[in-house]
Structure 1
């Protein structure tokens, strides 16, 4: 956007007289300190609850990496038991005897998976891709929230200008009514001229009331996004990172769009899930052992004896009822779905970028036209007012010139907002509406820091040995192409039987009374009572 246009819009706001709404705001906040867009973005980036919630959600995703890699790590536990058993037994002579048993013991067990066919490596890869997709989701949320901040910032400035314009117009129409009344007494005007001026004044009064409400709504949006009420908002700077052309914007979408990369990384997770499901067919080799003390007969400590066990086990599924194959096919279908969603996200991002670009270009043209229209309308109004004072211009011409000036000013102010908001929307679509790009002093949130922290806290001694071996066993993650419909052989629309819907209009629905079911209430909701089975 042209910087001169922005400054002209700011000057227009500053030159217009204060309004009751603005004065009320000033009285509430004492002396409002000047506030830049960078300050608003910095506060929102630091305190916005939606953004903080998205960061917390990403930290939860980081834990999936730890959970997926748990099979690489040694598991151990302690088992302690104290058991008493009493049983009546019939002897050979028919007499009953009571057999009692007392056992106790404590045992330390440990197990370690040695080989599992690449299952763990695939699950870790899926978790890592999910975390990376979550980071793109966080980046998308940051852009969306900062877009809301920018939009609220310029909306407050726009609505302040609109309120001031409407107030100036109301004052001008009020003076016109006063002049019309005075000249009606002198016989120059009629009651019709007075009524015209009064009608226009009241229309502007209604528009001023709505503009004041809109201003407070924009201030509320600002407070919700930033976390505090707006002060004296300064002219926003030119946004950095805008592409030089629409084709350049399309290139940036392909490389940087957070929504597109979120979908791409989701396909990486889908590939890994296919491999993990195929690895379910592979054998699992595990080492387990235990050591402890136990007494099989009494509770006496002197009867405790040492017990030690060790084993290497191999587990391999042979017949699973088709569940593994079904899970693989489901994972393949989900991966195909994710592939289509990548193209959906790509098309949506390109469309949004083009729409924002067009809105920004149109906004710039509207600003230029609004500026020229405002200057011409001001000049015309001055001439018409002089002619009205000299008696050769009518009251209607003055009212019409006033309305034309009002319309031109509204066009200019709304175009100023629309162009700037469209540029911010374009940057958000590209993933470039970032706090550090607008204000370099803003401390940025590093999502990778938490990932490194949780990984360091759960590092196992056998990870460096087992992870490379497991990765070498990961089965294929290839997914076949999704089935496609054959091209249509005839694309002509069938001829219509009814070319125009006949009347009359429908006035009543064919409602039929539903008979109320009668019979005893079923108190027993067991399968027998509900289904009638035996």
Structure 2
């Protein structure tokens, strides 16, 4: 499936326009384009920043393990008028101030924190896979844009050569018409074909600029003269191997799988809400209850152990558990959907690469045959044995064969890149050994070092041991259909004429449903707006 770099040589030689001729020195390579895009592509940089934000979730989830200390400073003035024993109002004034340092440390958390940390870790790992998927897609776009520029340069050169050839054909037709060998009809045929090619050349030139713009958007600079791309590493030998690699390495599939694992942890976290929380609290400070004078301030200390456990929560905890279970079921189904999509993408990319290889062979054979046929037809035309129409037809056949071969070279190479991107193997570290590879785990390690938790080594194992079970019963599936059949259609096809206008005039506002209607709709499974 590897494309032969020599297949790109002919289009590059045909594409040697005056602008490219000035750039014959130092051709630009695909690996350099990949390295530049990997270093500074804004979409990829945004994905890395998003992952760094996710890394903070691990610190936030594990914060209950760590000691919290706070400082409370207060100064208060209070004035109140109240009736005295002499039936007169007197003013009572009080001044207080104080400073207290308080500390709190959870001793037992019922597995809440362990489950939340597990969910955060799974979310971070899923984020790394999302970043890997983004990297593969960005580099796939670079390969696509690189090959598109080469393809469009070749197509412009082919169309330019064809336009020149048809121009000469028109000139010959005009000269021979003066000599009486051809008619005005022959001239008109040649002119019509020349203008068709001129229009196709204009579109090819526009396509080339579009491909160059895509290259610039992804890589960060405009392309120069591009060298033929090398064979892409990491391609599987068989389609069965590609399927196996996708099951093991696909970043999209891993992302969905890790999201499901985070869902498991969230179930455990919600179940842990029923467990008691044991915390140790304490404080020490100075307070002056009568004045703002420091000499009136006296020391005070507090300390205690608190146990908090919900007895009746109004159904809130149970509802959150059921919601977490349903969310986990959703994530499981989405993981299966992602797996099927990945396998479908693998097969489609593989088939496109195989088909492009066959098209390259056919296009090369067709080009050689069309060139030989055109040479013979031109010779016969000069000797009077062939018509002008046959020359034009042979020119068009050669043009079509060259376009097929060029498009096949592009499609085959890009299909290989798409296959690698689906498998998760189109990465800068595999394609360019000189590029500095971004470490997605480095920030997580640095973040963990910035927090201080002296009791983490003791509390984390205890909390993990008390973590509730995260398993849930599988969702109830619909029974298998016994005799499925579509109901008979009332009409075979929509009758009437084509619609000419959309009724976009403002419609009258519907009355808002009452609370009773909303409650009935939830219980019955209907809609509050549905007729009864």
TM range (shorter): over 0.9
Aligned in 2, Cα 1:34/1:479: closer, same or farther, shift over 3 Å? Answer: same
Secondary structure in 1 aligned to 2:368? helix
| 1:46 matches 2:39 | yes
| 1:186 matches 2:184 | no
Q: Distance in 2 between matches of 1:279 and 1:255?
A: 33
CA displacement at 1:486 relative to structure 2: 1.5
| Partners of 1:250 and 1:353 within 8 A in 2 | yes
| Partners of 1:33 and 1:231 within 8 A in 2 | no
Structure 2 residue corresponding to 1:345, chosen from 327, 335, 338: 338
CA displacement at 1:407 relative to structure 2: 0.2
Q: Distance in 2 between matches of 1:2 and 1:107?
A: 73
Q: Distance in 2 between matches of 1:314 and 1:333?
A: 31
| Partners of 1:91 and 1:97 within 8 A in 2 | yes
Secondary structure in 1 aligned to 2:62? helix
Question: Corresponding residue for 2:141?
Answer: 148
Q: Distance in 1 between matches of 2:502 and 2:395?
A: 53
Task: Give the RMSD, CA atoms, in angstroms.
Answer: 1.8
In the alignment of these two chains, the number of paired residues is 510
CA displacement at 1:516 relative to structure 2: 11
Aligned in 2, Cα 1:445/1:508: closer, same or farther, shift over 3 Å? Answer: closer
Mapping of residues 448-467 of structure 1, within 5 Å: 448-467=441-460
Secondary structure in 1 aligned to 2:390? helix
Q: Distance in 2 between matches of 1:175 and 1:347?
A: 55
Question: Corresponding residue for 1:481?
Answer: 474
Aligned in 2, Cα 1:16/1:508: closer, same or farther, shift over 3 Å? Answer: closer
Secondary structure in 2 aligned to 1:466? helix
Q: Distance in 2 between matches of 1:302 and 1:505?
A: 94
Question: Corresponding residue for 1:16?
Answer: 14
Aligned in 2, Cα 1:138/1:386: closer, same or farther, shift over 3 Å? Answer: same
| 1:299 matches 2:299 | no
CA displacement at 1:459 relative to structure 2: 3.3
Q: Distance in 2 between matches of 1:47 and 1:242?
A: 26
CA deviations on 1:12-40 (whole Å, 9 max, x unpaired) are 12332634xxx45777xx66631111000
| Partners of 1:32 and 1:231 within 8 A in 2 | no
Question: Corresponding residue for 1:526?
Answer: none
| Partners of 1:17 and 1:168 within 8 A in 2 | no
Question: Corresponding residue for 1:358?
Answer: 351
| Partners of 1:290 and 1:309 within 8 A in 2 | yes
Q: Which moved more, 1:149-158 or 1:483-492?
A: 483-492
CA displacement at 1:96 relative to structure 2: 1.2
| Partners of 2:3 and 2:413 within 8 A in 1 | no
| 1:119 matches 2:112 | yes
Secondary structure in 2 aligned to 1:231? coil
| Partners of 1:65 and 1:127 within 8 A in 2 | yes
CA displacement at 1:324 relative to structure 2: 0.5
CA displacement at 1:95 relative to structure 2: 1.3
Secondary structure in 1 aligned to 2:484? coil
Q: Distance in 2 between matches of 1:129 and 1:198?
A: 67
Secondary structure in 2 aligned to 1:152? helix
CA displacement at 1:335 relative to structure 2: 0.3
Question: Corresponding residue for 2:6?
Answer: 7
| 1:235 matches 2:228 | yes
Question: Corresponding residue for 1:82?
Answer: 75
CA displacement at 1:273 relative to structure 2: 0.3
Secondary structure in 1 aligned to 2:441? helix
Structure 1 residue corresponding to 2:99, chosen from 100, 106, 124: 106
CA displacement at 1:496 relative to structure 2: 2.6
Q: Distance in 2 between matches of 1:85 and 1:512?
A: 64
Normalised TM-score (structure 2): 0.93
Mapping of residues 210-229 of structure 1, within 5 Å: 210-229=203-222
Aligned in 2, Cα 1:281/1:7: closer, same or farther, shift over 3 Å? Answer: same
Secondary structure in 2 aligned to 1:287? strand
CA displacement at 1:300 relative to structure 2: 1.1
Q: Distance in 2 between matches of 1:515 and 1:288?
A: 61
In structure 2, the gaps of 5 or more residues are: 511-532
Q: Distance in 2 between matches of 1:354 and 1:196?
A: 45
Secondary structure in 1 aligned to 2:370? helix
Aligned in 2, Cα 1:306/1:418: closer, same or farther, shift over 3 Å? Answer: same
Question: Corresponding residue for 2:483?
Answer: 490
Structure 2 residue corresponding to 1:195, chosen from 184, 188, 207: 188
Q: Distance in 2 between matches of 1:511 and 1:369?
A: 53
Q: Distance in 2 between matches of 1:47 and 1:79?
A: 47
Q: Distance in 1 between matches of 2:499 and 2:334?
A: 42
Secondary structure in 1 aligned to 2:483? coil
Secondary structure in 1 aligned to 2:77? strand
Question: Corresponding residue for 2:519?
Answer: none
Normalised TM-score (structure 1): 0.93
Secondary structure in 1 aligned to 2:486? coil
Q: Distance in 2 between matches of 1:462 and 1:401?
A: 84
CA deviations on 1:415-437 (whole Å, 9 max, x unpaired) are 00000000000000000111121
| Partners of 1:367 and 1:412 within 8 A in 2 | yes
Question: Corresponding residue for 1:532?
Answer: none
CA displacement at 1:494 relative to structure 2: 2.2
CA displacement at 1:501 relative to structure 2: 4.4
CA displacement at 1:504 relative to structure 2: 5.0
Q: Distance in 1 between matches of 2:465 and 2:413?
A: 53
Secondary structure in 2 aligned to 1:411? helix
Question: Corresponding residue for 2:406?
Answer: 413
CA deviations on 1:316-374 (whole Å, 9 max, x unpaired) are 11111110000000000000000101100000000000000000000000000000000
CA displacement at 1:509 relative to structure 2: 7.2
